[in-house]
Amino acid sequence: MKTHSSEIPTTPLPGPRILIIEDEAPMRAVLKDILDTEGFRVLTAIDGEEGLQRAVREKPDLILLDIMLPKLDGFALCAELRCLGIQTPVLMLTAKGQVEDRVTGLDSGADDYLVKPFSIDELLARVRALLRRRQKRTRAVAALKLGDAYIDLVKQTARRGRGNIHLTAKEFAMLRLLAEAEGEPVTRDRFLDVVWGYAAFPTTRTVDNHIANLRAKLEPDPENPKWIKTVHGVGYRLDL
């Protein structure tokens, strides 16, 4: 008898645990419903303090985090988690969808964003992508060593010998994306999507300019990059 691999359900079993931190009851109920239906095990918290406590105590596999929350907002909560060394993937929910929110979120350690209102399909796609990435994530991604330069992607610090290398939040985010791709090319669109956000105005040229800056700061010979390689017609990849 033939097996039908295409019929294997895509929902991981047993379902990963997802913590929803959202103060608005209707939105919380909708999210819980969607995720329950897909086989995820759902935990909820109604404000930032409760959310932080549950995140620390119950170690969920993923956190859906609203930004505007009573007691402790999403940015502060996320920064606190990262400060405690908790690397649970965080999908931030923002009502505004503004560029500044995304940048602040990246600075505070969020992994991805979803702009309200969003479709169920979009929510589930992001959740699954983050869970997959978490499974694949290795310790190597927490830090990078490029020659004599050491880049801590968690603390967002970089140094060469005793000297600090100043990298911007966007440059750290770009390096992290490259590192997580494990040598595979990252497209310009993907950079724009993750580092700048959908609503942003930058063009693919912006990505090239930032790559040039990164090379100038990190590569011994920026004209002939050793690590941050161009993949013609596609984007960039990290060659370690």
Contact positions toward Ca ion, by CB under 5 A?
23, 66, 68
| 31 vs 149, beta carbon nearer Ca ion | 31
Tell me the closest approach of the beta carbon of residue 71 to Ca ion, in angstroms.
Answer: 11
- How many CB atoms are closer than 10 A to CB 239? 11
Tell me the closest approach of the beta carbon of residue 21 to Ca ion, in angstroms.
Answer: 9
Burial of 110 (0-12, 13-18, 19+ CB in 10 A): buried
Tell me the closest approach of the beta carbon of residue 93 to Ca ion, in angstroms.
Answer: 8
| 116 vs 132, beta carbon nearer Ca ion | 116
- Residue burial 160-187, b: 16+ Cβ < 10 Å; e: rest: eeeeeeebeebbbbbbbbbbbbeeebbb
| 67 vs 177, beta carbon nearer Ca ion | 67
Tell me the closest approach of the beta carbon of residue 113 to Ca ion, in angstroms.
Answer: 15
Instruction: Name the nearest CA neighbour of 45 among 25, 59, 30.
Output: 25
- The structure tokens 């039908």 sit at 4
Tell me the closest approach of the beta carbon of residue 20 to Ca ion, in angstroms.
Answer: 12
| 23 vs 80, beta carbon nearer Ca ion | 23
- Cα distances (angstroms) measured from residue 15 to each of 18, 37, 55, 63, 222: 9, 11, 17, 14, 46
Residues 106, 100: Cα–Cα separation, whole Å: 10
| 110 vs 175, beta carbon nearer Ca ion | 110
Tell me the closest approach of the beta carbon of residue 66 to Ca ion, in angstroms.
Answer: 4
| 59 vs 116, beta carbon nearer Ca ion | 116
Give the residue closest to Ca ion by C-beta: 68
* DSSP β-bridge partners for residue 236: 186, 230
CB 7 within 8 A of CB 96: no
